[in-house]
A and B are shown apart, each in its own frame.
Chain A
């Protein structure tokens, strides 16, 4: 009974990415300014943001290209700077089921900052997309060399994950009620 209810829950965009995102931004903003819009970094001062931005990798994706694929070990978190990304899972008939759409300012794959467990879904660029990647080992190194910055990011990462868990619980229990 409970399982059937869970299956009936249809994930929404809010579940995936838009809890914190209040901004819709373009691709021409410098990385330091852009990072301020991301909840995980917005409490850092300019000097700290500059340090973080020196660790960020900029990637450009064509429509249809994958940012990461399901079952691959996670290595980096992605922040969408411009474009659109779809969270998809492979379906039985070789098609893909869309789970959510990620807009500029949202981030995805943040659990990869904690460990390298396989990705639970794939992320595919729906149009020409610019993304910023933040590598787990860079965060670990930040924790060693600049513990104030590193622990602050970790704290807000924990908050984000907590919020998502709450949102998930809300959906589950809401569905049951």
Chain B
């Protein structure tokens, strides 16, 4: 126990020294922070093609952390647990990649889909506007708004119409090409009706191509396919390694960042790290389960109403993924579902009254059911009180994310905003709790 005077003297000699140190430290930290932010921004911008694999690897690791804890608790050594998770992750990635390869339409199927879509769109348009009637003047709606509707349809048509190269390809596939079966004649009729140019003109072009250029083009295509695959492999090979290294990390990353924190903020930094870590983990695990449940619901319901199984899986996957985007997710599912309903020809629904004519209504009902399920069951049970975002923030986030980083930005904008919001709100809450602000 010290007496007051002695203590004060020693404090007086210490405190100016501490003051100088604090000032120097503040300057050093400020400069370092500015450089780190600038360097970080530059790196993110330069390395944006690898952002998506890195973030997916990180998210996957976050999702697996509780599993690793369970393994350790049950007596499985940490190393073995990591090996098990990494092996499962690697196998899952390979299976998903191969299944996606089988589900995603190849060149021939894409050409058929585009042709079908354009033909059916025009057919439905004519039917809805009453243009198939004998007088051909259309119904009253068409008579008033024909100019607007026609120009809109034309812009859609010009967007989905096959270009010259695609037309050439279509005709090549018609007879069987690239070890693929011939395109059914029914689609040739669609193609014929869709095509503005004369068939002879296109076929002449094809004949010339068949004579001289086909072999050369095939080699080029094979080369470009190979380079595309290699490029994708080069980028996506990062993902499993990010996953592995994050699982292997035993708190070293956190320890490094905490070591940079001044002593005054040491305890608050620990509390912030812990709370943010838990909140983000819960959010990501919740959103993953919600997306999976929504995707599965779509797959099931679309199969029941008579979608082709392959298409039901594909649309279910896309709609499930889109669920990560609040508000817009259901819109995307509806657009995808109705787009397919528009071109569906032979529906095989287990519900007898659903036909290709009323499939769009069935899709709308399905989206509504999933929406009710998601809001009433999945979200309250799985996601719970996860972070809520204002719709305006969602829209601006999605627009900004997609403008800056394309597809990756579109999908990851909202999780990123949630993470940043959680960090900032927790930081300020804790700083207040610690009487630091």
Q: A interface vs B, CB < 8 Å?
A: 10, 54-55, 57-69, 71-76, 86, 95-96, 98-101, 116, 133, 135, 137, 141, 144-147
A72 touches B21 (CB 8 A): no
Any A CB within 8 A of the CB of B72: yes
Contacts A95-B8, A133-B266 given; indicate if A73 touches B18 (C-beta within 8 A).
no
A63 touches B69 (CB 8 A): no
Q: What are 28 A-to-B residue pairs whose CB atoms are below 8 Å?
A: A10-B1, A54-B251, A55-B251, A57-B255, A57-B259, A57-B266, A62-B17, A62-B18, A62-B21, A63-B14, A64-B11, A65-B18, A65-B264, A68-B267, A72-B434, A74-B267, A75-B270, A95-B8, A100-B1, A101-B1, A116-B271, A133-B266, A135-B274, A137-B270, A144-B73, A145-B69, A145-B72, A145-B73
B7 touches A146 (CB 8 A): no
A137 touches B274 (CB 8 A): yes
A59 touches B266 (CB 8 A): yes
- Measured between beta carbons, the chain A residues less than 8 angstroms from B259 are 57-58
Any A CB within 8 A of the CB of B98: no
B270 touches A61 (CB 8 A): no
C-alpha gap A71/B433 in the complex (Å):
9
Among B252-278, those with CB < 8 Å from A are 255, 258-259, 263-264, 266-268, 270-271, 274
- Name which residue of chain B comes closest to A75, CB basis: B267
C-alpha gap A96/B2 in the complex (Å):
10
B2: min CB distance to chain A, Å: 5
Contacts A57-B255, A135-B270 given; indicate if A66 touches B264 (C-beta within 8 A).
yes
Any A CB within 8 A of the CB of B23: no
B276: min CB distance to chain A, Å: 12
- Measured between beta carbons, the chain A residues less than 8 angstroms from B385 are none
Q: A57-B266, A59-B266, A64-B14 are in contact. List 5 more A-B contacts (CB 8 A).
A: A68-B267, A72-B267, A72-B433, A73-B267, A144-B69
- Measured between beta carbons, the chain B residues less than 8 angstroms from A58 are 259
C-alpha gap A57/B271 in the complex (Å):
14
- Name which residue of chain B comes closest to A96, CB basis: B7
- Measured between beta carbons, the chain A residues less than 8 angstroms from B10 are 63
Q: Mark B54-97, 1 if CB is under 8 A from A, else 0.
A: 00000000000000010011000000000000000000000000
Nearest 9 CB-CB pairings of A with B: A75-B267, A145-B72, A64-B14, A137-B274, A72-B434, A63-B14, A98-B1, A64-B18, A75-B270
A106: min CB distance to chain B, Å: 16
A72 touches B4 (CB 8 A): no
C-alpha gap A48/B158 in the complex (Å):
70
- Measured between beta carbons, the chain A residues less than 8 angstroms from B434 are 72-73
- Name which residue of chain B comes closest to A143, CB basis: B73
B4 touches A64 (CB 8 A): no
A143: min CB distance to chain B, Å: 10
- Measured between beta carbons, the chain A residues less than 8 angstroms from B8 are 95
**CB contacts between A and B, total, < 8 Å:** 75
C-alpha gap A97/B89 in the complex (Å):
58
Any A CB within 8 A of the CB of B185: no
Question: Chain A CB within 10 Å — which of B1, B21, B258, B434 has the most?
Answer: B1
B15 touches A64 (CB 8 A): yes
C-alpha gap A141/B266 in the complex (Å):
19
A74: min CB distance to chain B, Å: 8
A83: min CB distance to chain B, Å: 13
- Measured between beta carbons, the chain A residues less than 8 angstroms from B69 are 141, 144-145
Any A CB within 8 A of the CB of B250: yes
Q: Which of A60, A72, A96, A116 contacts B435 (CB 8 A)?
A: A72
- Measured between beta carbons, the chain B residues less than 8 angstroms from A66 are 263-264
- Measured between beta carbons, the chain B residues less than 8 angstroms from A72 are 267, 433-435
- Measured between beta carbons, the chain B residues less than 8 angstroms from A57 are 255, 258-259, 266, 270
- Measured between beta carbons, the chain B residues less than 8 angstroms from A116 are 271
Q: Which of B14, B21, B72, B271 contacts A146 (CB 8 A)?
A: B72
- Measured between beta carbons, the chain B residues less than 8 angstroms from A64 are 11, 14-15, 18
A73: min CB distance to chain B, Å: 6
Question: Chain B CB within 10 Å — which of A55, A75, A86, A99 has the most?
Answer: A75
B249: min CB distance to chain A, Å: 11
- Measured between beta carbons, the chain B residues less than 8 angstroms from A76 are 266-267, 270
Question: Chain A CB within 10 Å — which of B250, B255, B259, B270 has the most?
Answer: B270
C-alpha gap A64/B73 in the complex (Å):
42
C-alpha gap A65/B18 in the complex (Å):
8
- Measured between beta carbons, the chain A residues less than 8 angstroms from B251 are 54-55
- Name which residue of chain A comes closest to B66, CB basis: A144
- Measured between beta carbons, the chain B residues less than 8 angstroms from A68 are 267
C-alpha gap A83/B9 in the complex (Å):
19
C-alpha gap A112/B268 in the complex (Å):
13
B73 touches A147 (CB 8 A): yes
C-alpha gap A55/B433 in the complex (Å):
25
C-alpha gap A166/B7 in the complex (Å):
31
A86: min CB distance to chain B, Å: 8
Q: Mark B104-138, 1 if CB is under 8 A from A, else 0.
A: 00000000000000000000000000000000000
A6: min CB distance to chain B, Å: 18
- Measured between beta carbons, the chain B residues less than 8 angstroms from A99 are 1
Among B1-47, those with CB < 8 Å from A are 1-2, 4, 7-8, 10-11, 14-15, 17-18, 21
Contacts A57-B255, A63-B14 given; indicate if A95 touches B270 (C-beta within 8 A).
no
